[in-house]
């Protein structure tokens, strides 16, 4: 652990304290990183962007000391390391905050910050010194501007607050460099702002931050310097006002093309699904009124926790509504289970892809056939040849990149897993499809393909409802945008009026 006498206000022109030179790392058949150099100075925020596969993870593994580079030099405070190990990385003051939080939600904040390093009382039992624990954690939380205390149970914290706990953990070991790996991908809009403030705070205290994100406008907002990676190479370093969305995408993809949002080819049709004064468990006293038309993509924006996912669960029959009625093509329906919704051709692509969308241990073919298994039965038994025939067809149609349809869904990338979830429903002639955060954690290439599929569906007359917290996606993809605020629809915007500002105003309960 580095011994810092205090936390001086550093001059940003300080010498870099971490320097990577000409790093090269190869794996059999792949050059993961080649000729990569970077410097980290105290108090700077460095953005790293690149598509999946660009070499970000390898770089992180090298900085964490988990993987050793084949070539190149790592210097910390001017001292070169032959082999940069996990221990060296910790000594250098490098701390990671991962996308997936590693907190114990049955413990309080202070216990999480000092997990495994609890201060002990003297005495026979060596009990945990809770007083000292809380006294040590409080100042860390103050530095981050946290509104919760050391004894708050983690289960009561929002996602952004939980990330603050992770950052407090990093501060508690006196880190000089905090690496945030996709910290905002699961954060709602309002909380994202909070995290960006925390980053600014760290910067002001002279702590360097490496910020990895797929959400480029956050990079623009937060970073002093952006490194763009493509195919294991550093393609460019952007500074100051060179940092903008289009430049980054161009450099990442290697061409000028960005996500293409297609406009609808046909006018929208009749109402397919109508929520009439529906109440859900999220806000039992608020009524939801929503019409979803055939042939449209209706975006459903709002803050996380505004009741969007609960509405989706009710529409799909997972939960029952507390009140109100749901009409499908004008007829009132009461789905007692997802099975009944599926029979009525109302489908959901859930938010939690790995936990609810797919069975990771089943093969692609088994996942695709699962909701409609009876169709694949011959002589009372499930016909594997029919299953794989359908799966092959889906694989071609959706361009699922997998060596075969009999491999487990677990081994696929996020984008391909999402395509398998979609394949289930596309094989069954959908009428209504609800997407809940359809492209979370998916790279730009696969995102575009999923948008294209959504548009193809709506052009075929399918009614598409898309819940999304990604502003860019909501505005780009939707034909209309409904915004939810605390359990009710606070406004519906036509495509032309769907600006970021309007959506945000509605999301926080104001009017447009």
- Which parts of this chain interact with other proteins (CB under 8 A)? 27-30, 32, 52-53, 56-58, 316, 318, 337-339, 341-343, 348, 350, 352, 355-362, 366-367, 370-374, 377, 380-382, 411, 413, 424
- Report the nearest approach of other proteins to the CB of residue 24 (Å): 13
Q: Which is nearer to other proteins, 409 or 454 (CB)?
A: 409
Find, among 229, 103, 205, 218, the residue nearest to 158 by Cα: 103
- Report the nearest approach of other proteins to the CB of residue 56 (Å): 7
Q: Which is nearer to other proteins, 128 or 362 (CB)?
A: 362
Q: Which is nearer to other proteins, 115 or 373 (CB)?
A: 373
Q: Which residues pair with 381 in a beta bridge?
A: 378
Q: Which is nearer to other proteins, 161 or 363 (CB)?
A: 363
Angle at the Cα of 334 from the Cα atoms of 328 and 340, rounded to 5 degrees: 85
- Report the nearest approach of other proteins to the CB of residue 32 (Å): 5
448 phi and psi, to 5 degrees?
-55, -40
How far apart (Å, rounded) are the C-alpha atoms in residues 202 and 220?
A: 17
Sequence-separated (6 or more) residues with CB below 8 Å from residue 290: 274, 275, 278, 298, 311, 482, 489
DSSP letters spanning 359-425: -TTSBHHHHHHGGGGGGGEETTEE-HHHHHHHHHHHHHHHT---S-TTSBGGGS-HHHHHHHHHHHH
229 phi and psi, to 5 degrees?
-105, 140
Q: Which residues pair with 327 in a beta bridge?
A: 274, 332
Q: Which is nearer to other proteins, 107 or 359 (CB)?
A: 359
DSSP-based three-state secondary structure for 231:
coil
Q: Which is nearer to other proteins, 54 or 216 (CB)?
A: 54
- Report the nearest approach of other proteins to the CB of residue 88 (Å): 21
- Report the nearest approach of other proteins to the CB of residue 497 (Å): 34
- Report the nearest approach of other proteins to the CB of residue 312 (Å): 11
**Matching residue, tokens 């040590």:** 136
- Report the nearest approach of other proteins to the CB of residue 207 (Å): 26
Q: Which is nearer to other proteins, 262 or 428 (CB)?
A: 428
How far apart (Å, rounded) are the C-alpha atoms in residues 298 and 359?
A: 28
Q: Which is nearer to other proteins, 211 or 425 (CB)?
A: 425
- Report the nearest approach of other proteins to the CB of residue 372 (Å): 8
Rounded to the nearest angstrom, the gap between the alpha carbon of residue 314 and the centroid of all alpha carbons in its chain is: 24
The neighbour count for residue 38, using CB atoms within 10 Å, is 19
Sequence-separated (6 or more) residues with CB below 8 Å from residue 110: 130, 133, 134, 136, 137, 150, 151
């Amino acid at each position: 652990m580095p011994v810092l006498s205090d936390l001086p206000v550093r001059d940003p022109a300080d010498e870099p304290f971490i320097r990577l030179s000409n790093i090269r790392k190869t794996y059999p058949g792949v050059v993961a990183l080649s000729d990569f150099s970077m410097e980290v100075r105290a108090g700077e925020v460095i953005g790293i962007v690149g598509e999946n596969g660009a070499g970000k993870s390898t770089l992180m593994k090298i900085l964490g000391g988990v993987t050793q580079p084949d070539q190149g030099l790592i210097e910390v405070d001017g001292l070169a390391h032959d082999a940069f190990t996990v221990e060296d990385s910790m000594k250098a003051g490098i701390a990671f905050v991962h996308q997936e939080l590693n907190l114990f939600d049955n413990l309080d904040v202070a216990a999480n910050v000092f997990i495994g390093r609890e201060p002990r009382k003297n005495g026979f039992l060596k009990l945990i010194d809770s007083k000292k624990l809380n006294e040590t954690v409080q100042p860390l939380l103050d530095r981050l501007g946290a509104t919760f205390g050391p004894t708050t149970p983690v289960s009561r914290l929002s996602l952004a607050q939980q990330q603050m706990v992770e950052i407090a953990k990093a501060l508690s070991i006196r880190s000089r460099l905090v690496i945030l790996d996709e910290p905002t991908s699961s954060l709602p809009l309002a909380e994202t702002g909070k995290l960006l403030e925390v980053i600014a705070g760290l910067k002001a205290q002279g702590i360097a931050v490496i910020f990895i994100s797929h959400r480029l406008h956050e990079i623009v907002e937060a970073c002093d310097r952006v490194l763009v990676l493509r195919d294991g190479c550093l393609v460019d370093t952007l500074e100051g006002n060179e940092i903008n969305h289009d430049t980054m995408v161009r450099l990442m993809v290697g061409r000028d093309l960005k996500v293409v949002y297609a406009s609808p080819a046909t006018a929208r049709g009749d109402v397919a699904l109508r929520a009439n004064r529906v109440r859900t468990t999220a806000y039992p006293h608020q009524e939801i009124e929503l019409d979803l038309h055939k042939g449209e993509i209706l975006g459903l924006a709002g803050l996380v926790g505004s009741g969007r996912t609960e509405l989706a669960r009710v529409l799909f029959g997972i939960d029952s509504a507390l009140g109100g009625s749901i009409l499908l093509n004008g007829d009132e329906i009461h789905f007692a289970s997802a099975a009944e919704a599926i029979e009525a051709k109302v489908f959901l692509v859930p938010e939690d892809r790995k936990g609810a969308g797919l069975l990771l241990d089943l093969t692609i073919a088994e996942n695709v056939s699962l909701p409609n298994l009876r169709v694949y039965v011959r002589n009372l038994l499930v016909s594997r040849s029919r299953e794989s025939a359908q799966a092959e067809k889906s694989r071609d149609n959706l361009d699922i990149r997998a060596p075969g349809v009999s491999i487990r869904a677990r081994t696929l990338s996020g984008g391909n897993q999402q395509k398998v979830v979609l394949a289930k429903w596309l094989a069954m002639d959908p009428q209504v499809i609800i997407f809940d955060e359809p492209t979370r954690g998916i790279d730009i290439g696969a995102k575009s393909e999923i948008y294209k599929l959504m548009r193809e569906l709506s052009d075929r007359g399918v009614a598409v409802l898309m819940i999304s917290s990604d502003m860019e996606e909501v505005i780009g993809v939707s034909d209309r945008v409904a915004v939810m605020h605390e359990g009710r629809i606070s406004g519906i915007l036509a495509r032309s009026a769907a600006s970021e500002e309007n959506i945000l105003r509605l999301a926080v309960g104001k009017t447009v």
